Structure 1
Amino acid sequence: MATSTSAGAQSLDGKVVLITGGTGSFGTAMVRHLLKHGNPGTIRVFSRDELKQFHMSQALKDDRLRFFLGDVRDRDRIRRACEGVDLIIHAAALKQVQACEYNPFEAIQTNIIGSVNVVDAAIDCGVPKVLALSTDKAVSPVNLYGATKLCAEKVFIHGNSYAGRRGTRLACCRYGNVVGSRGSVIPLFLRQRAQNELTITDERMTRFWLTLEAAVQFVTRALDYMAGGEIFVPRLPSMRIVDLARIIAPEARLKHIGIRPGEKIHETLLMPEEIRHTIRVDDFFIILPEWFSRKVKRRYKGTRLPEDFSYSSDVNDAWLTEAEMREIIAEFSSSPARKRLKKATIRRVPRRAPL
């Protein structure tokens, strides 16, 4: 997806923006991006962690920031946070696969009920735009986390019907693993490197690759496109986890621990059933809701996908090269403060595994 810093941000001039999960990895990056490249009137940072909010306020020292302590499970609190808001970016979620497997009720309360609360509050408060973040694990889910995110997608997409003529438009962004986000594999491998032993679940495992900066740019671009009801999916490069491990610690021993509960060997970003109403626009895909009228669909100048199209991390046409991986790893590991990552250049190659 194009990464113009003006994309999405300029349309927020003077607007009031609410970011749920605003002190998480993505939320923090989005706040910094909007403060630097946009001119929002106010950014409301909504999260449960008072310490992270304090650290953010001290680090950014910007009068446009407002901090709301709260939980998306709390209908009254999220409704109060939505009053007078022009845009909501819903990033709050429980996202660790294993944690969700062992704490299913908590995952459902946050990821599903929390999403319902955000949609209800947005509609009741007349918020014009609401964009929710989703994940490749929502596609044909085999774990509870993915199932909750699939349900959250449905809540947001069909929330447009619930909104009726009130003017609230809701859409989703669905993407893969984010480099450097909390709990991701690179910090784990960097910690394990000191012991000269890295844990690998399965050598065949592949994942889609997205830097934090690219995720922010993707979301801001989607804000410009959304009419309500779409799911936006970026074109991403793939990588094998074992190749990443060998780049980070080439001399280290690889300890095979087996696939953990709820894990897949490969991830998919488009369901086969979604292909027939998905279009490609530039370097991303838009899954259009089947209930869109022909007039609305003509608004998108995209290309329809062939019926046999597949978008899985193991049969991708884009793979990160070793040099590109090293650049991203070096950028991440050199900064204790996790400074913003550079977006890797994607190299298009035939459909085969890398390295």
Structure 2
Amino acid sequence: MNKIEGRLYIIGAGFAGQMIASDIAKKKVFGTVSAFLDDDKNLIGTKIDGIPVLGPLDSIADALRVDSSDQAIIAIPTAPVERIRKIYDALKKCGFTQIKILPSISQIIDEKAHIIQARDINPLDILGRTPVTIPLAKSLAYLKGKRVLITGAGGSIGSELARQLLSGGAERLYLFGHGENSIVNIYRELHLLQDEGIGQKASVVPIIGDMKDREYVKYIISHTHADVIFHCAAYKHVPMMEENSIAAIENNVFGTKNLLDAALEAGTEKFVLISTDKAVEPVSVYGASKLLCEKLVIQAAESASKNQSFMFVRFGNVLGSRGSILPIFMEQIQNGGPVTVTDPKMERYFMTIPEACSLVLQTGGVGANGASYLLDMGEPIKIVELAKQVITFSGFTPDKEIKIQFIGARKGERLEEPLWLKEEKPEMTEYKKILKLTNIPLKNFSLDKLLKSLEPICALTQGKEQLYRNSNELKSILRKAIPSLDKFYMDQEQLSGEKDREQNYKAVL
């Protein structure tokens, strides 16, 4: 957080607000706190460490004179979304243009809040439902003294797992990734958080590498002696992977197999795969790749020793991840619109990144070998409604100041994404928001035989050179193995043929 030029107001005079004020006073680089803003009648009109408490928030606009350099920090980590939304509206009425917020209570470890944790408020904080609260210090006890490796540590999910893992008491935290810039960014951020007293003093080790390199992966897993692996790395942009189908299988499927084989051999205690709803009756190469990853994890569990646990956690969309819909909407709004939505009927299940990661970390501790888990995502949200809310959050009127344009579904997209198959019969566990799935045996193909048929397409193989990088052959193999993918492609081909015939008919006329 940069130095504050104007006046600073802290919303919430409770423990978090007071700790933020104390932190600011000690550092003497962020400016000074002008006042606390609160609704507590017992506090309004008093002073805390010399700082006046003003309120209530609903009528504060009549008393404050705010200019563009003033900032507000919402320091109520226990507040539900509904209250944050009301506070945000009240602050906007006051004239605040710079509004920051502390993370949720699950991220405020041991009741210690720090100014460095404050970030700009965004639509995630006022949209959707209130995330489930998970006390990280307790749920991460299983990681104390362990060596933890995160693949894709520079990505949205991987980097948030890394931030939360600082609170787990791990001996060492390995940040594995292919992208140099993203790894160095999270590496520096973790060190900065530790320097500010956030989390515990785990050694943080960056590792640049490619999980497609089988020998290198084997070397890394054996030499790091990783006790726990959270496998987040994947190519995941659906339309992009339709155009680069071989890369999707090569990276996601064979990369995952390399990690699993290395973890089995090295005696890794826990392996947690991050999966997606797109693996359910997949209609894209990306979805098919994640389905195969799920099956690979279950297969690995069958070979695991009694001291090992291999599992996957499946969930839907996460709000705010790189390349996801929310950042795209925000960028489109900043450019004056239009905001593009595929179809008025399209809907998705959403969860915030911190909530998803907290649940993943909890599942890693309580999950059993060979078990499959699903995060409870609540009710689906219409994408067009999300677009309208984001436009409103940004201070504009939907379809007037910022237009919404429907552009049609792209390759590999469907209007609804199911979270499970009927046969998987999700059951409640004793842990809130974590469901257990019934594992479904493979019906249409042998996993080992399928991988063997895909391998010469992804890796140059003597005597099968003609198959190398043959995307048509790859899709043909996947379509034979996965009926939902074949049906979707057939429907798309039929629709495309009808459009071509219609265009030809019009041209003749």
TM over 0.5: yes
For 1:183 and 1:82, how far apart are their aligned partners in 2?
29
Q: 348, 365, 382: which is aligned to 1:240?
A: 382
Q: State the Cα deviation string for residues 153-179 of structure 1 (Å, max 9, x = none).
A: 00001211133x363320000001011
Are the equivalent residues in 2 in contact too, given 1:7–1:221 (CA < 8 A)?
no
Q: Secondary structure at the match of 2:414?
A: coil
Q: Indicate the residue corresponding to 1:67 in structure 2.
A: 206
| Residue 153 (1) aligns with residue 264 (2) | no
Letter in 1 for 2:235: L
Q: Indicate the residue corresponding to 1:85 in structure 2.
A: 226
For 1:56 and 1:245, how far apart are their aligned partners in 2?
29
For 2:286 and 2:156, how far apart are their aligned partners in 1?
18
For 1:288 and 1:197, how far apart are their aligned partners in 2?
43
Q: Secondary structure at the match of 1:189?
A: helix
| Residue 46 (1) aligns with residue 186 (2) | no
Q: 348, 352, 357: which is aligned to 1:207?
A: 348
**Percent identical across equivalent pairs?**
33
Are the equivalent residues in 1 in contact too, given 2:150–2:231 (CA < 8 A)?
yes
Structure 1 unpaired stretches of 5+ = 292-355
Q: Indicate the residue corresponding to 1:140 in structure 2.
A: 281
| Residue 267 (1) aligns with residue 417 (2) | yes
For 1:288 and 1:82, how far apart are their aligned partners in 2?
30
Q: 415, 421, 427: which is aligned to 1:279?
A: 427
Relative distance call for 1:141 and 1:7 in structure 2 (3 A) is farther
For 1:156 and 1:93, how far apart are their aligned partners in 2?
15
Q: Indicate the residue corresponding to 1:197 in structure 2.
A: 338
Q: State the Cα deviation string for residues 247-274 of structure 1 (Å, max 9, x = none).
A: 1222321111111110010111110121
For 1:188 and 1:7, how far apart are their aligned partners in 2?
36
Q: Secondary structure at the match of 2:254?
A: helix
Shift of 1:2: 5.3
State the TM-score, normalizing by the size of structure 2.
0.55
| 4+ residue runs over 3 A deviation | 288-291
Q: Indicate the residue corresponding to 1:4 in structure 2.
A: 135
Q: Indicate the residue corresponding to 2:323 in structure 1.
A: 183
For 2:353 and 2:433, how far apart are their aligned partners in 1?
17
Q: Indicate the residue corresponding to 2:119 in structure 1.
A: none
Letter in 2 for 1:273: E
Q: Indicate the residue corresponding to 2:72 in structure 1.
A: none
Shift of 1:283: 2.8
Are the equivalent residues in 1 in contact too, given 2:423–2:438 (CA < 8 A)?
no
| Residue 254 (1) aligns with residue 404 (2) | yes
Q: 168, 173, 180: which is aligned to 2:308?
A: 168
Compare the two structures and name the one with the higher helix fraction: 2
Letter in 2 for 1:69: I
Are the equivalent residues in 2 in contact too, given 1:48–1:71 (CA < 8 A)?
yes
Which structure's CA Rg is the greater one? 2
For 1:79 and 1:19, how far apart are their aligned partners in 2?
15
Shift of 1:53: 2.1
Letter in 2 for 1:134: S
Q: Indicate the residue corresponding to 1:225 in structure 2.
A: 366
Letter in 1 for 2:412: G
Relative distance call for 1:86 and 1:136 in structure 2 (3 A) is same
For 2:139 and 2:296, how far apart are their aligned partners in 1?
24
Q: Where does 1:341-352 land on structure 2 (aligned, <5 Å)?
A: none
For 1:217 and 1:257, how far apart are their aligned partners in 2?
35
Q: Secondary structure at the match of 1:76?
A: helix
Relative distance call for 1:244 and 1:290 in structure 2 (3 A) is closer
Relative distance call for 1:202 and 1:290 in structure 2 (3 A) is closer
Are the equivalent residues in 2 in contact too, given 1:138–1:147 (CA < 8 A)?
yes
Q: State the Cα deviation string for residues 98-123 of structure 1 (Å, max 9, x = none).
A: 11100011000111001110110000
For 1:134 and 1:73, how far apart are their aligned partners in 2?
18
Are the equivalent residues in 2 in contact too, given 1:207–1:240 (CA < 8 A)?
yes
Shift of 1:232: 1.1
Note the aligned Cα RMSD (angstroms): 1.6
Q: How many residues align?
A: 287
Letter in 1 for 2:317: N
Shift of 1:290: 6.6
For 2:421 and 2:236, how far apart are their aligned partners in 1?
21
Q: State the Cα deviation string for residues 56-105 of structure 1 (Å, max 9, x = none).
A: 23222256101111111111221222121110000010000011100011
Letter in 2 for 1:49: G
